[in-house]
Structure 1
Amino acid sequence: MKLAMVLVCAALAWGQQAEGPLVSTYVLGPGDQLIVRVLDMEEMSKDPFQIDMRGNINLPMTGRIYAKGMTVEQLEEAIAERLKAYIKQPDVSVMLQEMRSQPVSVLGSVRTPGVHQLQGEKNLLEVLSLAGGLQPDAGYSVRIAREKQWGKIPLPGAKLDDTGQYWIAEVGVKELMEARAPEKNIPIKPHDVVTAPKGQIVYVMGAVKKSGGFVLGEKERTTVLEALSMAEGFDNFAKRGGAKILRKTDKPEQRLEIALDLGKILDGKQKDVPMEQDDILFVPTSGVRKTLARAGEAAFGIGTGVAVYRR
């Protein structure tokens, strides 16, 4: 929730800096549906009009007008100019009933993934906020895919995909949120695909103070002791010997068990052990304390859900 709120606030701040007061900047395109009203012309206001795939709108008396690329205000002026042949001072109003021409797909670990419509120019943070912000398990970079017709994505490392039809680029979320790279908060174009991949996560379970999943930073690796530190250390029931890492194998139903003696690692008698993505570090409870802990869980109905934390 905190991360989502930060993204929304950051997006609003960026928008205020870039655009100032809101104006009608939405650019019309194929598929948009419009309601057109002209004073004293009832035939113009019966049904909505749709911009066709060639970008034209066909209206009574005015005929075909090329509306693609216009704002609503510009289209009003174009319609009024055509109607001057019949009306001395035409009073024209155009309302956008349904936007269909500027979709952007926001996918992955966001709160409301799907297709969103751009209304005027939006930057990357604003588009992420349209999708409700990032989920707690989102990674530390965002990927953007853009149709070749819009030109190269203005980010370092941008390249064409294997088909040669799309530009692909990545940008770190942290540097955007901290305003360390304002030039990377790029404008998003219609039909862009913005993906927030799930981050690399390690899990710490059992007798620790803060069990759950921990999202690793961009290009970050971690070890058993570092993961234990993220979990805020042992709880009062921990047994330092008998810990283990549960690691994924080629068989989804099976995990490799790697035995650990956390006491010896902490004392420097054994080397710290690197962890891999989706590893589970399990810290057991000891003897009587384990029995008491289980009894407490039964008594108070502690749930088994796993929280995911970002650092």
Structure 2
Amino acid sequence: MKIILTFAMVIGSASAQTLVQPVRPVPGANQDYLLGSDDQLKIWALGFEDELKDKTIRVEPSGDIDLPAIGRVKAAGLTTAQLEAELSERMKRVVRQPQVSVEIADYGSQPVSVLGAINQGGIQQLKGRRTLAEVLSSAGGIRPDAGPTIRITREMDMGPIPLSNAVTDPSGRYSTAEVKVADILGARTPAENILIRPHDVIAIAPGDSISVIGAVQKPGPFPMNTRSNVTVLEALAMAGGYGPQPQPQNAKILRLTPGSPDRKEIAVDLRKITAGKSEDVTLRANDILLVPTSMPKRAAVKVGEAALAAAVGFAVWHGF
């Protein structure tokens, strides 16, 4: 009889351990993450399995969650472990030995905007402590056509940005600072890889570009990246060289004129430049190099219009 009772106690203990085993936390969840409004929670509690099964509990704008038999509980500002302890304390009124597990099903309380020359721009959730480099990485990384600087804007409620070049706007509501893309990507200045705060706006302006259209192999826009200038021969190389039936002696640079919607035409003889009989010409940002073609006029017009539209559209968008 003693053996049977002992065996029953062992089985009962094992069953109890299986019953109260907490739900596993979300992989990679930050244990120091402070809950906030719009976070989505999965809560398991012994004695409340049916009431909480398949339910996602949203942290309300007030910071509270509303649970059956317990009522409203303040969740904002607590970690999941702290919320578990608070819920366990509340449940002692109805359960002798409460067992509670809280996991984050989805993040929603710490949005950050990542804009501009980024592969997956939009709203990112911080999910705890994240540096600038980590946020940029989670947004797919910086595009090759990015400009040289990253601008960070922060609400002053979160405190000023801890960088020496940070300035406060005239309204006193925002702090703004810039860091160099190269410094972040190359980890040259660790102090500039600051912690990002909720509601920060990170903007990476696209860099300057030039375009090559007409009788070339790969017409289109080409980012200048960190280069201060590009020559016509370098631009021609970017475009893969000449295409069918080129007229290099009649090439033109189409350059924006300040205060005018029209572009100024600058004649360049690529044939002489290639032969070393004329000096190479430096292009400016947003210049368009046009290499005419000797193909029939109708076909040339169609190709030229399509290439010019693409180049101008790219240049306009890069006025970001």
- Shorter-chain TM band: 0.7 to 0.9
Structure 2 unaligned spans of 5+: 1-27, 315-320
CA contact (8 A) 2:30 2:127 kept: no
CA–CA distance in structure 1, aligned partners of residues 175 and 151 of structure 2? 11
CA contact (8 A) 2:111 2:199 kept: yes
Could you tell me which of 108, 115, 128 is aligned with 2:123? 115
CA–CA distance in structure 2, aligned partners of residues 58 and 209 of structure 1? 64
TM-score (norm 2): 0.71
Give the direction of change, closer, same or farther, for the CA distance of 1:235–1:179 in structure 2 (3 Å limit).
farther
Residues 88-237 of structure 1 mapped to structure 2, 5 A cutoff: 88-208=96-216, 211-218=219-226, 220-228=228-236, 230-231=238-239
CA–CA distance in structure 1, aligned partners of residues 227 and 292 of structure 2? 30
CA–CA distance in structure 2, aligned partners of residues 110 and 70 of structure 1? 33
Is 2:35 the counterpart of 1:28?
yes
CA contact (8 A) 1:108 1:195 kept: yes
* Cα shift readout 1:83-113 (whole Å, capped 9, x = no counterpart): 2344332110123233221111122232332
Give the fraction of aligned pairs with identical amino acids, expressed as a percent: 45
Could you tell me which of 80, 83, 93 is aligned with 1:75? 83
Q: Relative contact order: is structure 1 or structure 2 higher (C-alpha 8 Å, sep ≥ 6)?
A: 1
CA shift, 1:25, in A, is: 3.7
Secondary structure of the residue that 1:112 maps to in structure 2?
Answer: coil
CA shift, 1:146, in A, is: 1.2
CA shift, 1:260, in A, is: 1.5
Structure 1 unaligned spans of 5+: 1-20
* Cα shift readout 1:212-267 (whole Å, capped 9, x = no counterpart): 32212347233435534545666796554222101234565x43211123355567
Choose 46-55 or 33-42, whichever is displaced more. 46-55
CA contact (8 A) 1:37 1:44 kept: no
Secondary structure of the residue that 1:143 maps to in structure 2?
Answer: strand
Secondary structure of the residue that 1:278 maps to in structure 2?
Answer: coil
CA contact (8 A) 1:38 1:44 kept: no
* Cα shift readout 1:8-51 (whole Å, capped 9, x = no counterpart): xxxxxxxxxxxxx8643432101223232211125752654332
Aligned to 2:288: 280
TM-score (norm 1): 0.73
Secondary structure of the residue that 1:139 maps to in structure 2?
Answer: strand
Choose 116-125 or 205-214, whichever is displaced more. 205-214
CA RMSD, aligned part only? 3.5
CA–CA distance in structure 1, aligned partners of residues 221 and 186 of structure 2? 24
